[in-house]
């Protein structure tokens, strides 16, 4: 049964798919998945925290709709997003004899989505997968657009693939069980969208907003970007705003600092430097800072900028000896600046 509050975004990329945003959608997940994947064997991939809260609802719904279900659970956290867990997921899929007509469901935050997505992209050279994101961050960003990845000891997201999901089911009710600090992590990526998009900026600046509306606006913004540049040859780089320092910060913290917080700090660094390079004036900087603060509060940077620049040297956004930074000229006006890797420390202060 459809509810009248559902919002649907159709992403038309190399594979086209719907992102459905609704309340209490998990109990209908089997029914909705059946609309895009014929009943088959489904591997639900999740972490131990999410498993305890949401697996049963999803598994029951899948079974009720004729799917055979197997489940793989790994320990929550970024430190699991590695070659070891990835290898275990692949072995689990093989042991359970999943074939190319079977499917995988990623149930959890961005860590689950990135890693399960990469397993789906590579197992048997690619099987279908469905994203059921359960953190704000994964609902507005990682579950949409087809970037999948795992980390290496040398750096963040260094192995991955572009592989679009077959469906994304966003249940806003899952946000009710999120600890506040993890919710704020998601608001770090939301702050990024606010700088990129005047509409999102205005909604957050206003007195009151419904998070469901903001999720819709963020997904729809990302849809527009991904449809124009799925493989990040051009404007998709906008979505990396704040991410070069953020990846350095995550690495320096040995991944104890979350991605969302690191993005919030990275955004501060980029905003300060956009001002000191004269790209943005004081009035606009202050307006943007106020919205960022409304999203994430104060986020003091625990590392020196020199260390962050050193740690960011292995960033994916490096090509040859050049690093591409996204700098802020105003709300909705973010531009690419190429900096020699060995000059990054002089450029970011
Ligand atoms: P996460 O997946 O580690 O989730 C954070 C914590 O919240 C985990 O401990 C998890 O168990 C718990 N959790 C998840 N849902 C819950 C719920 N509903 N209730 C209670 N607890 C819940 O982290 P994240 O912030 O969702 O994602 C971060 C990851 O996403 C990073 O690895 C980052 O690199 C990646 N990412 C990818 C993209 C992309 O485009 N692929 C974009 C942004 C971020
Ligand atoms: N999160 C950045 C992107 O999807 O391109």
DSSP-assigned states of every residue in 210-262? -HHHHHHHHHHHHHHHHHH-TTSSSGGGGGGTTHHHHHHHHHHTTT-S-HHHH
Dist. CA 95 → ligand 2 center (Å): 32
Q: Cβ(7)–Cβ(21) under 8 Å?
A: yes
- Which ligand does the CA of 259 lie closest to? 1
Please give the Cα distance from 324 to 242 (Å, whole number): 11
* Cα Dmax for the chain: 60
Q: Is the distance from CB of 167 to CB of 131 less than 8 angstroms?
A: yes
Q: How far is the centre of ligand 2, averaged over its atoms, from the C-alpha of 225 (Å)?
A: 9
Q: How far is the CA of 137 from the centre of ligand 1 (A)?
A: 6
Q: b or e along 159-168 (b: 16 or more beta carbons within 10 Å of the residue's beta carbon)?
A: ebebbbbbbb
Find tokens 């999720």 and name the residue.
215
The closest alpha carbon to 26, from 115, 119, 131, 138, belongs to 131
Give SS3 for 38. Answer: coil
| Tens-digit pLDDT profile for residues 5-33 | 899 999 999 999 999 999 999 999 999 99
Task: Give the chain's mean pLDDT.
Answer: 95
Q: Closest ligand 2 atom to the C-alpha of 232? A: 5
* Helical residues (DSSP H) of 165-210, grouped into ranges: 180-196, 198-205
Instruction: Specify whether the CB–CB gap between 44 and 105 falls below 8 A.
Output: yes
Mind listing the pLDDT tens digit for each residue in 194-220? 999 999 999 999 989 999 999 999 999
Instruction: Tell me the DSSP string of 329-348.
Output: EETTEEEEEEEEGGGHHHH-
Name the band, by pLDDT with cuts 50, 70 and 90, for residue 313.
Answer: confident
Residue 127, CA distances (Å) to 49, 61, 117, 169, 332 in order:
26, 21, 10, 18, 37
Per-residue model confidence (pLDDT) at position 317: 67
Whether the pLDDT of residue 4 is over 60: the answer is: no
109 lines ligand 1 (CB under 6 A): yes
For ligand 1, atom 29: residue with the closest CA: 110
Closest Cα to atom 3 of ligand 2: 239
Q: What is the pLDDT of residue 207?
A: 86
Q: Which helix (H) or strand (E) holds 159?
A: strand 155-162
CB-based contact 186:262 (threshold 8 Å):
no
Residues 250 and 233: beta-carbon distance below 8 Å: no
133 lines ligand 1 (CB under 6 A): no
The values of phi and psi at residue 256, to 5°, are -85, -25
Quote the pLDDT of residue 316.
Answer: 64
Q: Is the CB of 110 under 6 A from ligand 1?
A: yes
Tokens of 156: 């963040």
Quote the pLDDT of residue 1: 44
- Name the closest ligand to CA 48: 1
Closest ligand to residue 240's CA: 2
For residues 168 and 166, give the distance between their C-alpha atoms in angstroms, rounded to a whole number. Answer: 7
Can you tell me the mean pLDDT for 39-43? 97
Instruction: Give the binding-site residues of ligand 2, using a 6 Å CB cut-off.
Output: 141, 145, 147, 236, 239
Query: pLDDT (tens digit, 9 = 90+) per residue, 114-161?
Result: 999 999 999 999 999 999 999 999 999 999 999 999 999 888 899 999
pLDDT, mean of residues 283-287: 97
Length of the chain: 349
Ligand 1 atom showing the smallest separation from residue 186 Cα: 25
Q: Give the pLDDT band (50/70/90) at residue 69.
A: very high
**Nearest ligand 1 atom, CA 174:** 18
Q: Which residues does 224 contact at the CB level (< 8 Å), separation at least 6?
A: none
CB atoms within 10 A of CB 157: 20
Atom 32 in ligand 1: which residue has the minimum CA distance? 111
Q: What is the pLDDT of residue 156?
A: 85
Burial of 338 by CB count in 10 Å (0-12 exposed, 13-18 middle, 19+ buried)? exposed
- Residue 335: strand pairing partners: 327
Predicted structure pTM score: 0.96
């Amino acid at each position: 049964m459809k509810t009248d509050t559902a919002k649907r975004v159709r992403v038309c990329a190399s594979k086209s798919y719907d992102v459905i945003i609704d309340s209490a959608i998990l109990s209908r997940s089997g029914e909705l998945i059946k609309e895009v994947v014929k009943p088959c064997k489904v591997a639900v991939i999740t972490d131990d925290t999410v498993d305890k809260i949401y697996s049963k609802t999803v598994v029951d719904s899948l079974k009720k709709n004729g799917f055979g279900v197997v489940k793989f659970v790994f320990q929550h956290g970024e430190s699991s997003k590695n070659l070891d867990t990835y290898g275990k997921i692949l072995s689990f899929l093989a042991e359970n004899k999943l074939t190319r007509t079977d499917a995988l469901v990623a149930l959890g935050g961005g860590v689950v989505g990135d890693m399960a997505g990469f397993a789906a992209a590579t197992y048997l050279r690619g099987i279908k997968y469905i994203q059921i994101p359960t953190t704000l961050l994964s609902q507005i960003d990682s579950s949409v657009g087809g970037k999948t990845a795992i980390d290496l000891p040398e750096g963040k997201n260094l192995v991955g693939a572009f592989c679009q999901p077959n469906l994304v089911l966003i249940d806003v009710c899952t946000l009710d069980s999120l600890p506040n600090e993890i919710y704020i992590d998601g608001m770090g990526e939301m702050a990024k969208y606010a700088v990129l998009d005047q509409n999102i900026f205005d909604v957050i600046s206003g007195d009151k907003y419904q998070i469901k509306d903001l999720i819709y606006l963020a997904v729809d913004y990302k849809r527009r970007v991904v449809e124009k540049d799925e493989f990040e040859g051009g404007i998709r780089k906008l979505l990396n705003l704040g991410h070069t320092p953020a990846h350095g910060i995550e690495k320096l913290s040995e991944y104890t600092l979350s991605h969302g917080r690191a993005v919030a700090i990275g955004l501060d660094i980029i905003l300060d430097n956009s001002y000191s390079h004269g790209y943005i004036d004081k009035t606009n900087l202050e307006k943007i800072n106020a919205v960022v603060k409304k999203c994430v509060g104060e986020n003091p940077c625990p590392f020196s900028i020199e260390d962050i620049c050193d740690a960011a040297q292995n960033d994916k956004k490096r090509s040859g000896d050049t690093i591409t930074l996204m700098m802020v000229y105003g709300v909705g006006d973010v531009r690419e600046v190429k900096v020699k890797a060995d000059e990054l420390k002089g450029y970011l202060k």
